[in-house]
């Protein structure tokens, strides 16, 4: 004879397991059902993501997102909700993933997940080519230093920045006047002359080199500040989707797709140090 109490318990456990499976794969199920992956991305971070002369989103991250969607066998839709919205989590299903040059930090990991790194580049200190007094990070104490709003570089200047799994970062300067804003505007302001609107900028080498080559008025000084891994971002609560994101990005790396995209934009492979 079947114990009615045990039967009810078994049904409840089975129902709970089914519910957990559904919740665990919610994003993956949505992507498969819609035949589309929605990637949240910034649009003011050249050469990683920017509005081209054709008024279209273009850049390294855009190409990686296209390859990601292609490997999944679905269409790609890009949305630009803003950096702080993306990294704040609680997406409520509005986006599936964010391939948008995000450094994984302990604070950010409290509200979003970083299932896989996909490139790593050094952070550097940039000054006007005529700047004579700033020769290393030790010289930026009391200076106005531009950074992207909400970026890891802003946290670095506050001397409250660490990267999980990486050695402690050195901060060879005292108080700095961080000037957060649009990175393109920051580089334009620095190009006006040393000390006019900004004294320096902290940015990724890839971004900095693009502006140095385009404007011819800037230079990198000192050694790289830290090596910054950049990861794909997902919302909390879907380990099955995280596993699929990691699988696809790793496959793109192994087949050489990420390297080819990197060579296109930077002439070097910035992805090889991330795996």
Residue 121 is predicted with a pLDDT of 85
> Rounded CA gap, 197 and 141, in Å?
16
Nearest 10 degrees: Cα torsion 75, 246, 85, 122: -110
Please give the CATH number for the structural domain made up of 121-228.
3.40.190.10
237: left (phi over 0), alpha (psi -120 to 50) or beta: left
Which CATH architecture is the domain 4-120+230-266 placed in? 3-Layer(aba) Sandwich (3.40)
Q: Are the C-beta atoms of residues 73 and 267 closer than 8 Å to each other?
A: no
Per-domain boundaries in the chain: 4-120+230-266, 121-228
Helices 239-254 and 26-34 cross at an angle (nearest 10°) of: 60
Whether 4-120+230-266 and 121-228 share one fold: the answer is yes
Element (H, E) at 208: helix 205-215
The sign of the dihedral angle between the CA atoms of 184, 91, 103, 180 is: positive
Q: Which of 123, 107, 79 is nearest to 220 (CA)?
A: 123
Q: What predicted TM-score, i.e. pTM, was given to this entire model? A: 0.72
The SS3 assignment for 25 reads coil
Q: Which two tokens stand for residue 200?
A: 């320096």
Please give the chain's pLDDT, 275 residues, in tens: 444 443 444 444 343 333 333 344 799 999 999 999 999 999 988 889 999 999 999 999 999 999 999 999 999 999 999 999 999 999 999 999 999 999 898 889 999 999 999 999 889 999 999 999 999 999 999 999 999 998 889 999 999 888 877 788 999 999 999 999 999 999 999 999 999 999 999 998 888 988 998 889 999 999 999 888 999 999 999 999 999 999 999 999 999 999 999 999 988 899 987 88
Quote the CA–CA distance of 131 and 245 in Å, as a whole number.
44
Q: What is the DSSP letter of 74?
A: S
């Amino acid at each position: 004879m079947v114990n009615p109490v045990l039967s009810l318990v078994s049904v409840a456990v089975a129902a709970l397991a089914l519910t957990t499976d559904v919740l665990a794969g919610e994003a993956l199920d949505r992507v498969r059902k819609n035949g589309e992956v929605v990637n949240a991305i910034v649009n003011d971070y050249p050469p990683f993501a920017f509005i081209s002369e054709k008024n279209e989103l273009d850049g390294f991250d855009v190409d990686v997102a296209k390859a990601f969607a292609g490997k999944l066998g679905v269409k790609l839709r890009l949305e630009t909700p803003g950096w702080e919205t993306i990294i704040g989590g609680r997406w409520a299903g509005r986006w599936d993933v964010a391939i948008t040059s995000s450094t994984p930090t302990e604070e950010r990991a409290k509200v979003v997940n970083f299932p896989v790194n996909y490139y790593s580049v050094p952070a550097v200190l940039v000054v006007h080519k005529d700047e004579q007094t700033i020769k290393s990070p030790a010289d930026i104490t009391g200076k106005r230093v531009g950074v992207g709003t909400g970026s890891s570089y802003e946290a670095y200047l506050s001397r409250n920045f660490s990267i999980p799994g990486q050695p402690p970062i050195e901060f060879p300067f005292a108080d700095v006047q961080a000037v957060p804003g649009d990175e393109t505007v920051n580089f334009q302001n620095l190009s006006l002359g040393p000390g006019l609107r900004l004294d320096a900028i902290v940015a990724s080498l890839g971004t900095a080199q693009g502006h140095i080559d385009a404007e011819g008025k800037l230079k990198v000084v000192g050694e790289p500040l830290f090596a910054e891994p950049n990861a794909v971002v997902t919302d909390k609560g879907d380990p099955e989707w995280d596993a699929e994101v990691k699988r696809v990005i790793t496959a793109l790396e192994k087949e050489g797709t990420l390297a080819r995209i990197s060579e296109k934009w930077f002439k070097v492979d910035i992805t090889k140090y991330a795996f």
